[in-house]
């Protein structure tokens, strides 16, 4: 059994197995796993938020002015709505309607940018800082981290749009677009949890 | 399906074509740009072992200090710094990366693939590991070593009690090295699902691949917790947030929850690949298939799941409600069941086989004995009343060194003796290997067994000295002397590697007569791993499929890369589904400097946070963003 001198293992050529057209590219799966670990980061942060809330006498601490609700709700709708053009883009690229793809991406990018601008203005309008209480720390860190993800998504979107403008993405070759759309949906879904945990739930007591 | 045809000679592939497609650039440029998983894997292992020996030196200093009462080898402050760096090096910079390194080297070979799913990402994860290691170790040159223990509990680690940048090296470094671990895990998962040789169903994966898969899923869900723990700690320290400051609504207990939500899965993250190595070594030297393959796989997955539900057993003494304590105590006891299943499967394999006592096998058997003891003490500390008696004593130190040093480092040494011939084409010296094993085994047990007794005698952990009238003197002296023996045993292996690398006996492709695919190719494997991709029809292809069927290149896009043409054109087949049918071809990326640039950008960002210079951090972010965009730009558009 032991072959101390054999240089290679004996082999024999056979016909390759039948190919099967299936599923997604490895890059898509890679993004799924990345989203898994990123989602876990947000889950752990939100768990920390609820842990601090459970141990506090009052949440947010007395004297903290609550974050603004009405405008943020509107922009929440804008951000979640920015997923709709992406669904449309996903459908259009399969059909090869490049004009729809371009319009959909631009629309979703504008909606995402509007949300980001609102977040920045909201931070400036807040009456508490991250040093004032653990609620302030949680608020700034989690919403700031989400905003960071929005920024990455917007840059990613620009890159995809540039690739389309240069004709590098078409009906048959659009991996970057598929991976981007997955990421963008993730950023939107995370916001539902962040918004309800940090803003909605402190207003509805 | 066994082939009955006569082996027809595989037409030799033109050396020149392969050279042109696969050879890295020579010298320095090639060193910084390579994406070959074999080079990266070996680099991982070598770098990790640097940290292993450095952590060992720190431990020897600690033992020198503790050998006698009231000694002054190290000051209290230096002792704290050394034991912090010892733990940090062993967990973050040795154990986790060395297993990732073996995974990197072996996974594509065991799956019959030509590289990982994301070769450039693979290079990136190595550079991040190296730079984060340099980042943490640069504290030696500033003279401000982290000194809050490898767990860095608050409030000790808040700026009130730990001013200066000592702890920032730790906190930022942990977040930094976590990037590497996570990226590696993404790579392992996708590689396992999309790069298997045709016919390699999940039911035929080598156990080591299974263990790396479980490792990766655990990393994906556990590492975020330590990233958040260390990240929030640094936000508290650098930006003045109030997460862990009770005066402003923070909670010190929150830090422990976050830390151990990673910390406990982490010990299994280390232990599972180690058992995966054992499950490869034992069948190879018992000359029979592993007993209870499905039981072992189920046990690995079960351990992975259960390990997420036991983190509070590190916090039994923090005053939590009794119901929570009972629950976590019960789950901690439960985890012994799958571990026991694995143990009996290994014993059954040896029982029914014909055991050859080679050096890797000795390390495997040594592992079994040590793991048995570590497991038993683990059951003991899972029991609440017992834990309250021994918590924060040397009994706990003994327990986790039995499981983390004995049950993880011993398999890693066995793996070195087992796979070194594959990596270098030369055998390690068996005689020297056996001496090294016995030195390590005896040194290990005499070092760590008396610590159980010291714990019973009340010696607390994390003390830099003790008075001479409490009855710990002779045991501490024995422990310190034995630690030198253990260290000598590891050095013998190092010397063995050094000697054999230059002049060991030639190994040939399959020196052990093992069953998995990495032994089908030459030692060391060519840059393209396999000229033609093996077609798998068994769990033990090299035992059941002699000669090994390898695929021709098919006419269509999906099967084109399977045969010799794939080796000549630097492509690999993407497979999928239960039976791993070929689905597409993917061109393996050319060597590139991008991963290094991106890693340097991230490093600059962390250095900026460390020295609190906005410009440095901003430059880092800019380099990082540009690097990422360039990367996404270069990503080829595959049909999706």
CB burial class (10 A; 0-12, 13-18, 19+) of residue B106?
Answer: buried
Q: How far apart are CA B272 and CA B213, in angstroms?
A: 10
Q: How far apart are CA B433 and CA A61, in angstroms?
A: 64
Q: How does pLDDT run across B495-524, given as a tens digit for each residue?
A: 999 999 998 999 989 999 999 999 999 999
- pTM for the model: 0.95
> What mean pLDDT do residues B6-18 have?
64
Q: How far apart are CA B296 and CA B277, in angstroms?
A: 13
> What mean pLDDT do residues B440-453 have?
98
Mean pLDDT of chain B: 94
User: DSSP letters of B248-284?
Assistant: GT--HHHHHHHHHHHHHHHHHHHHHHHHHHHHHHHHH
Interchain contact A7–B (C-beta under 8 A): yes
Judged by CB atoms closer than 8 Å, whether chains meet at A29 and B194 is answered as: yes
The confidence score (pLDDT) of residue B577 equals: 84
The confidence score (pLDDT) of residue A198 equals: 95
Interchain contact B585–A (C-beta under 8 A): no
Judged by CB atoms closer than 8 Å, whether chains meet at B550 and A14 is answered as: yes
CA distance A140 to chain B (A): 9
The confidence score (pLDDT) of residue A41 equals: 98
**What are the structure tokens assigned to B359, written together?**
């050096």
Give the confidence band of B13 by pLDDT, cuts at 50, 70, 90. low
SS3 B571: strand
Give the confidence band of B19 by pLDDT, cuts at 50, 70, 90. confident
Q: How far apart are CA B218 and CA A36, in angstroms?
A: 11
The confidence score (pLDDT) of residue A25 equals: 86
CA distance A181 to chain B (A): 13
Residues of A in contact with B421 (CB under 8 A): none
In the predicted structure, residue B21 carries a pLDDT above the cut 90: no
Cα distances (Å, whole numbers) of residue B621 to A150, A202, B389, B555, B601: 16, 34, 49, 46, 6
Q: How does pLDDT run across B389-439, given as a tens digit for each residue?
A: 999 999 999 999 999 999 999 999 999 999 999 999 999 999 999 999 999
Give the confidence band of B197 by pLDDT, cuts at 50, 70, 90. very high
Mean pLDDT of chain A: 92
Residues of A in contact with B118 (CB under 8 A): 26, 30
Which of B438, B286, B418 shows the shortest CA–CA distance to B347? B286
Q: At which residue do the structure tokens 């010190």 appear?
A: B252
Instruction: Tell whether the torsion through CA atoms of A165, A167, A171 and A173 is positive or negative.
Output: negative
The confidence score (pLDDT) of residue A5 equals: 38
Q: How does pLDDT run across B54-64, given as a tens digit for each residue?
A: 999 999 999 99
Interchain contact B218–A (C-beta under 8 A): no
Give the confidence band of A23 by pLDDT, cuts at 50, 70, 90. confident
Instruction: Tell whether the torsion through CA atoms of A181, A186, A189 and A194 is positive or negative.
Output: negative
Judged by CB atoms closer than 8 Å, whether chains meet at B638 and A51 is answered as: no
Element (H, E) at B297: helix B293-306
Element (H, E) at B548: strand B548-551
A95-109, A119-133, B9-23, B343-357: the lowest-pLDDT one:
B9-23
Please, what is the angle between helix B252-286 and helix B410-424, to 10°?
A: 60
The confidence score (pLDDT) of residue B10 equals: 57
B149 Rama sector, left if φ>0, alpha if ψ -120 to 50, beta otherwise: left
CA distance B614 to chain A (A): 18
Cα distances (Å, whole numbers) of residue B220 to A185, B335, B361: 20, 21, 32
In this structure, chain B runs to a length of 640
Q: How does pLDDT run across A94-137, given as a tens digit for each residue?
A: 999 999 999 999 999 999 999 999 999 999 999 899 999 999 99
Please, what is the angle between helix A83-95 and helix A98-125, to 10°?
A: 160
Residues 6 or more apart whose Cβ sits within 8 Å of residue B287 = A1, B353, B354, B356, B513
Answer yes or no: are the C-beta atoms of B57 and B74 closer than 8 Å.
no
Judged by CB atoms closer than 8 Å, whether chains meet at A172 and B639 is answered as: yes
Q: How far apart are CA B119 and CA B121, in angstroms?
A: 5
Residues of B in contact with A139 (CB under 8 A): none
Which of B342, B275, B339, B277 shows the shortest CA–CA distance to B307? B339
The confidence score (pLDDT) of residue B6 equals: 52
CA distance B195 to chain A (A): 9
Cα distances (Å, whole numbers) of residue A94 to A88, A91, A100, A101, B632: 10, 6, 11, 10, 21
Q: At which residue do the structure tokens 């540039």 appear?
A: A162
């Amino acid at each position: 059994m032991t072959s101390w001198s054999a240089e290679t293992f004996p082999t024999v050529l056979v016909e390759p197995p039948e190919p099967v057209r299936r599923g997604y590219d490895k890059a898509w799966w890679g993004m799924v796993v990345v989203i898994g670990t990123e989602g876990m980061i947000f889950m752990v942060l939100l768990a920390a938020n609820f842990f601090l809330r459970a141990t506090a006498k009052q949440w947010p601490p007395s004297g903290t002015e609550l974050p603004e609700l009405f405008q943020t709700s509107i922009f929440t709708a804008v951000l979640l709505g920015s997923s709709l053009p992406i669904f449309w883009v996903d459908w259009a690229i399969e059909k090869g309607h490049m004009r729809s793809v371009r319009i959909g991406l631009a629309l979703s990018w504008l909606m995402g940018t509007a949300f980001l601008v609102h977040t920045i203005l909201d931070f400036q309008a807040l009456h508490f800082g991250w040093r004032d209480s653990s609620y302030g720390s949680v608020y700034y860190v989690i919403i700031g981290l989400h905003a960071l993800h929005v920024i990455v998504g917007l840059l990613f979107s620009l890159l995809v749009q540039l690739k389309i403008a240069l004709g590098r993405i078409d009906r048959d070759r659009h991996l970057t677009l598929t991976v981007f759309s997955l990421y963008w949906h993730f950023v939107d879904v995370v916001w539902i949890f962040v918004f309800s945990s940090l803003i909605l739930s402190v207003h509805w007591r | 399906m066994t082939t009955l045809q006569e082996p027809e000679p595989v037409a030799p592939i033109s050396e020149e074509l392969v050279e042109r497609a696969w050879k890295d650039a020579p010298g320095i440029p090639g060193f910084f740009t390579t994406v070959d998983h074999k080079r990266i894997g070996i680099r991982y292992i070598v770098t990790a072992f640097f940290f292993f020996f450095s952590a060992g030196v720190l431990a020897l200093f600690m033992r020198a200090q503790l050998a006698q009462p009231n000694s002054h080898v190290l000051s209290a402050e230096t002792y704290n710094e050394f034991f912090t760096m010892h733990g940090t090096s062993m967990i973050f910079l040795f154990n986790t990366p060395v297993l990732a390194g073996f995974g990197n080297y072996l996974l594509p070979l065991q799956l019959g693939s030509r590289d990982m799913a994301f070769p450039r990402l693979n290079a990136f994860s190595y550079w991040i590991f190296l730079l984060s290691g340099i980042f943490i170790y640069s504290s030696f040159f500033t003279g401000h070593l982290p000194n809050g223990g490898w767990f860095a509990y608050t409030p000790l680690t808040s700026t009130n009690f730990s001013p200066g940048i000592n702890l920032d090296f730790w906190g930022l470094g942990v977040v930094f090295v976590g990037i590497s671990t996570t990226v590696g895990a993404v790579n392992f998962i996708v590689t396992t699902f999309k790069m298997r040789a045709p016919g390699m169903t999940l039911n035929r994966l080598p156990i080591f691949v299974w263990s790396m898969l479980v490792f990766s899923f655990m990393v994906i869900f556990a590492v975020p917790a330590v990233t958040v723990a260390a990240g929030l700690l640094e936000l508290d320290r650098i930006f003045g947030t109030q997460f862990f400051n009770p005066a402003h609504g923070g909670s010190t207990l929150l830090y422990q929850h976050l830390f151990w939500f990673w910390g406990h899965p982490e010990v299994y993250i280390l232990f599972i690949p180690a058992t995966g190595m054992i499950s490869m070594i034992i069948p190879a030297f018992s000359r029979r298939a592993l007993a209870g393959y499905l039981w072992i796989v189920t046990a690995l997955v079960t351990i992975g799941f259960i390990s997420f539900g036991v983190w509070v057993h590190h916090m039994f003494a923090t005053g939590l409600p009794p119901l929570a304590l009972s629950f976590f105590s019960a789950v901690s006891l439960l985890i012994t069941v799958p571990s026991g299943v694995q143990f009996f499967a290994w014993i059954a394999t040896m029982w029914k086989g014909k055991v050859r006592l080679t050096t890797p096998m000795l390390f495997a058997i040594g592992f079994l004995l040590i793991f048995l003891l570590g497991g038993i003490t683990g059951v003991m500390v899972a029991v609440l009343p017992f834990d309250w008696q021994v918590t924060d004593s040397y009994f706990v130190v003994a327990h986790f060194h039995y499981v983390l040093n004995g049950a993880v480092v011993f398999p890693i040494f066995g793996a070195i003796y087992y796979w070194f011939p594959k990596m270098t084409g030369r055998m390690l010296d068996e005689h020297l290997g056996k001496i090294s094993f016995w030195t390590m085994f005896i040194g290990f047990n005499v070092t760590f067994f008396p610590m159980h007794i010291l714990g019973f005698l009340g010696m607390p952990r994390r003390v830099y000295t003790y008075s001479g009238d409490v009855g710990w003197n002779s045991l501490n002296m024995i422990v310190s002397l034995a630690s030198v023996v253990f260290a000598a045993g590891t050095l013998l292996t190092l010397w063995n590697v050094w000697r054999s690398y230059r002049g060991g006996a030639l190994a040939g492709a399959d020196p052990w007569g093992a069953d998995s695919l990495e032994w089908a190719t030459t030692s060391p494997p060519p840059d393209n791993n396999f000229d033609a991709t093996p077609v798998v029809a068994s769990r033990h292809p090299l035992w059941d499929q002699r000669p090994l069927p390898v695929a021709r290149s098919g006419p269509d896009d999906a099967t084109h890369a399977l045969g010799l043409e794939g080796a000549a054109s630097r492509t690999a087949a993407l497979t999928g589904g239960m039976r791993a049918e070929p689905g597409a071809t993917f061109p393996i990326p050319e060597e590139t400097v991008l991963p290094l640039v991106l890693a340097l950008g991230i490093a600059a960002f962390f250095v900026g946070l460390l020295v609190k210079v906005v410009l440095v951090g901003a430059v880092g972010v800019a380099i990082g963003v540009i690097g990422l965009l360039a990367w996404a730009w270069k990503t080829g558009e595959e049909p999706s």
